[in-house]
Structure 1
Amino acid sequence: MTKLTDTQTLILTRASARPGSLALPLPDGLHGAAAKMAIGRMIKLGLIEEVEANLRHKEPLWRETGDGHGTTLIATPEGLAAVGIDPVVVKTMAGLRDAKPEAIAASQRPGTKQARLIAMLQAEGGATIAEIAEATGWQHHSIRGAISGSLKKKLGLTVTSEKVDGRGRIYRLALSE
């Protein structure tokens, strides 16, 4: 693992709290040749990547492509993992370019009960309310509230449920492809 500079750490940490893990705007004072060098190195290391900017959502431009379009920079899952963001949560959050930044930042803190809830719902067999309660220490009504409020409404995730014989109601997180 490459040791990150203070600038790289700052860029990735800020990106983790932004919708779609946008790495722009860059920190104050980082512009011109210094910005190009820093970003070029981060792209080479696989910490960030250049993607087409969504101009309808007014995403900041890194560079213009000359055809009326431009590119922006986003942190990769590897880049977010380099600053301690849980890879399971990174995978879940990858498709959420329109979610609220504060909701994304809260869900990405590693080791939180919400991160554990997301991981359990992503597991192949899903999870029951009782299993989640045992893992988190939450009461059943709190779990249902977290699923409908935090995951569905705030983060825009799709949570499905089905009744399975011998196990009860199973909840699963539908990952964005």
Structure 2
Amino acid sequence: MTQLSDTQAIILSAAAQRPERIALPLPDSLRGGAAAKVVGAMIAKGLIEEVEANSRRGEPLWRETGDGHGTTLVATDAGLAAIGIEPDDAETAPTITTEAPKADPTPDAASEAAQSTRTPRAGTKQSALIAMLRAPEGATIEEITAATGWQAHTVRGAIAGALKKKFGLDVTSEKVEARGRVYRIV
């Protein structure tokens, strides 16, 4: 199955709900070069394709071709399959319910789900950070900054953002007399 970024999943989900599976307009936060890069990657993966826009129907334009015509972006069957929608189901777009979930998942179940779906790449500074925190002795901010070359605020941000939120790891800290504040992955 194709790995999608959050932005790609949002674009494909919105396209699946629109007539003709049109992927435009893109999210407001995606503009300029970033939009071109995301769209280019999605076209390369076969998730969306450029088709001639029908100006009579008011289809939004992605770009002009130079000969007075324009193109729009349409989600492909592969793009819909990547978000779990079968191409036959595309005619009946999924409905979005506004009901709250019936039961919140337990924190343990949520962290296990997050940890099973995302894993850091080997050989990166992030994987080195995780290895240091998984060691029985843990690591201090100063030790991590020396090993990664990051600044202290970047280390704290990586622990709170990437490790806790993105990967669902349980990072604890405690004050150790000789070392200061020591962080560990439980």
TM-score if structure 2 supplies the norm length? 0.49
Q: Closer, same or farther in 2 for the Cα pair 1:60/1:85, shift >3 Å?
A: same
CA distance in 1, matches of 2:56, 2:86: 30
| CA drift at 1:89 | 2.5
Match of 2:93 among 88, 95, 105: 105
For the aligned residue pairs, the C-alpha RMSD in angstroms reads 1.4
CA distance in 1, matches of 2:45, 2:71: 19
Aligned length: 95
> In the TM superposition, what are the counterparts of 1:81-160 in structure 2 within 5 Å?
81-90=81-90, 93=91, 104-106=92-94
Task: Write the letter of the residue equivalent to 2:44.
Answer: K
Task: Write the letter of the residue equivalent to 2:73.
Answer: L
Encode CA deviations 1:143-169: one digit per residue, 9 max, x unaligned. xxxxxxxxxxxxxxxxxxxxxxxxxxx
| CA drift at 1:29 | 1.3
TM-score if structure 1 supplies the norm length? 0.51
| CA drift at 1:106 | 4.2
| CA drift at 1:78 | 0.7
- The equivalent of 1:3 in structure 2 is 3
- The equivalent of 1:129 in structure 2 is none
- The equivalent of 2:26 in structure 1 is 26
Q: Which SS does the other structure have where 2:25 is aligned?
A: coil
The ranges of structure 1 where at least 4 consecutive aligned residues each deviate by more than 4 angstroms after the TM superposition are: none
- The equivalent of 1:17 in structure 2 is 17
Larger relative contact order (CA 8 Å, sep ≥ 6): 1
> In the TM superposition, what are the counterparts of 1:162-173 in structure 2 within 5 Å?
none
| CA drift at 1:71 | 0.2
Task: Write the letter of the residue equivalent to 1:60.
Answer: P
Unmatched segments (≥5 aa) in structure 1: 94-103, 108-177
| CA drift at 1:4 | 0.5
Q: Is the 8 A contact 2:16 2:94 kept in 1?
A: no
- Identity, in percent, stands at 62
Q: Say which is worse superposed, 35-44 or 78-87, in terms of deviation.
A: 78-87
